[in-house]
């Protein structure tokens, strides 16, 4: 068996962005098949200092936990090319290191990825569970992917992170989520790529009154190019789905996002804007997604990020993000309850240092200032989040 280090990432984009580049372990057979493993373990000390609205107290909370990413351990199989087709598959497990983990699938052992791919002259077909198209670039290029970012969907209430923290989810962009899907991605067309997917429409926080579901459709158009001393990428993603709300009838949920990345020498910048309906605070189909009468609430948001990478190893970056929802009358069977009825805006400032000690070890120090504003309530909720930790990857 031969072990080698790959500069090209194997597996899903989510793990690719987790910092395991140049760390995949590949075992090859003489018949042309390849089996590879990759993964990471990350851990942080997280301190939150909260000031609740109207002087109603606050929470000073300390955690030893993973950040926005859970632990990943991925298994990849790739067959040799036959008749112009290359077949591959990936399955990963994502156990959280956190005590009392509850998000995603209700426990600390998540199943985020299980998919097969077929590549050919037509591009690629993906079948299985993988990161969604809508908003994927927004999260994968966010500096907090390697850190912690937000510790709750709002600055109100408990700031225990559950299975993972949130990064900028609900604080500048919506969650792509891990979705069962059939996806086609075109071959590269002079830097342009088009991807289309039909997706199972289950989401974690969908209202209990939903009686039926229809497929969710997602699309992404991107352009990427490299030039002397840098590179750039631009993307336009969208999604649409129909939700059957029982006696309230049908409601449509739609969203789109436009963003770009520029790398020029050591300078790196990312900016993205989104507009949505029926997605709620974080893009999970609940958490304020519907008015009390079942009408989809509209929202939008953006984030802007800039940083400099010193010596190719140390990124110092800062970002600002906002997510908003229009006003809800808060009376009726579809009222979100709690802070989500009156929710107006989340805003976030993050400053971080991300240092690659080696190809397999990243150290992180990060500070985020979070604020939630309301349509009616005069006072805001605020949280300061300090995090220090890092990644071991392979």
Every domain of the chain and the residues it spans: 44-71+117-393
What backbone phi and psi angles, to 5 degrees, belong to 143? -60, -30
What is the C-alpha radius of gyration for the chain, rounded to an integer number of angstroms?
A: 21
pLDDT digits (tens, 9 = 90+) for 125-182: 999 999 999 999 999 999 999 999 999 999 998 888 878 899 999 999 999 999 999 9
* pLDDT at site 15: 40
DSSP H or E segment with residue 167: none
* pLDDT at site 247: 64
Tokens encoding 241: 């789905």
Q: Determine the Cα–Cα distance for residues 62 and 103; give it in Å rounded to an integer.
A: 19
pLDDT digits (tens, 9 = 90+) for 27-68: 776 688 999 999 999 999 999 999 887 656 677 889 999 999
pLDDT, averaged per 10 consecutive residues of the chain (394 residues), comes to 28 39 62 90 95 71 92 93 96 83 53 95 97 97 97 90 91 94 97 97 62 85 96 97 75 93 97 95 84 86 98 96 86 66 94 96 98 90 96 93
Global pTM value: 0.88
pLDDT digits (tens, 9 = 90+) for 252-269: 889 999 999 999 999 999
Q: Determine the Cα–Cα distance for residues 318 and 323; give it in Å rounded to an integer.
A: 17
Q: Determine the Cα–Cα distance for residues 372 and 383; give it in Å rounded to an integer.
A: 9
Q: Determine the Cα–Cα distance for residues 51 and 307; give it in Å rounded to an integer.
A: 29
Give ∠ CA 358-361-362 in degrees, rounded to 5. 105
Q: Are strands 298-310 and 267-277 parallel, antiparallel or unpaired?
A: antiparallel
For 44-71+117-393, CATH number out of 2.40.160.10, 3.20.20.60, 2.40.30.30, 3.40.50.300 equals 2.40.160.10
């Amino acid at each position: 068996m031969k072990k080698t280090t790959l500069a090209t990432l194997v597996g899903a984009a989510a793990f690719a962005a987790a910092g395991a580049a140049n760390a995949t372990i590949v075992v090859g057979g003489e018949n042309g098949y390849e089996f590879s493993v990759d993964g990471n373990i990350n851990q942080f000390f997280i301190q939150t200092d909260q000031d609740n609205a109207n002087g109603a107290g606050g929470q000073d909370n300390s955690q030893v936990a993973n950040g926005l990413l859970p632990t990943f351990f991925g298994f990849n199989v790739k067959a040799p090319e036959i008749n112009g087709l290359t077949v591959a598959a990936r399955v990963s497990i994502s156990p959280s290191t956190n005590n009392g983990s509850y998000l995603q699938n209700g426990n600390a052992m998540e199943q985020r990825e299980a998919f097969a791919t077929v590549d050919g002259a037509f591009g690629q077909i993906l079948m299985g569970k993988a990161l969604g198209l809508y908003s994927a670039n927004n999260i994968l290029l966010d500096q907090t992917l390697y850190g912690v970012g937000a510790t709750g969907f709002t600055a109100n209430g408990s700031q225990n992170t559950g299975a993972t923290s949130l990064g900028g989810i609900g604080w500048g962009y919506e969650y792509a989520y891990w979705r069962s899907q059939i996806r086609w991605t075109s071959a590269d067309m002079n830097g342009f790529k088009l991807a289309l997917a039909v997706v199972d429409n289950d989401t974690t926080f969908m209202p209990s009154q939903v009686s039926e579901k229809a497929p969710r459709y997602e699309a992404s158009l991107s352009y990427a190019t490299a030039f002397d001393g840098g590179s750039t990428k631009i993307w336009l993603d969208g999604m649409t789905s129909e939700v059957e709300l029982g006696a309230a009838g049908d409601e449509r949920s739609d969203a789109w996002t436009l963003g770009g990345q520029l790398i020029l020498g050591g300078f790196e910048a990312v900016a993205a804007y989104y507009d949505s309906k029926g997605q709620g605070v974080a893009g999970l189909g609940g958490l304020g997604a519907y008015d009390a009468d079942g009408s989809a609430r509209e929202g939008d948001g953006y984030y802007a990020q800039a940083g400099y990478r010193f010596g190719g190893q140390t990124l110092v970056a800062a970002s600002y993000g906002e997510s908003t929802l229009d006003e809800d009358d808060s009376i009726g069977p579809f009222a979100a309850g709690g802070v989500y009825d009156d929710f107006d805006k989340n805003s976030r400032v993050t400053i971080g240092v991300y240092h690659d000690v080696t190809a397999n070890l990243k150290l992180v120090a990060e500070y985020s200032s979070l604020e939630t504003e309301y349509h009616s309530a005069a006072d805001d909720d605020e949280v300061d989040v300090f995090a220090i930790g890092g990644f071991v990857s392979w």
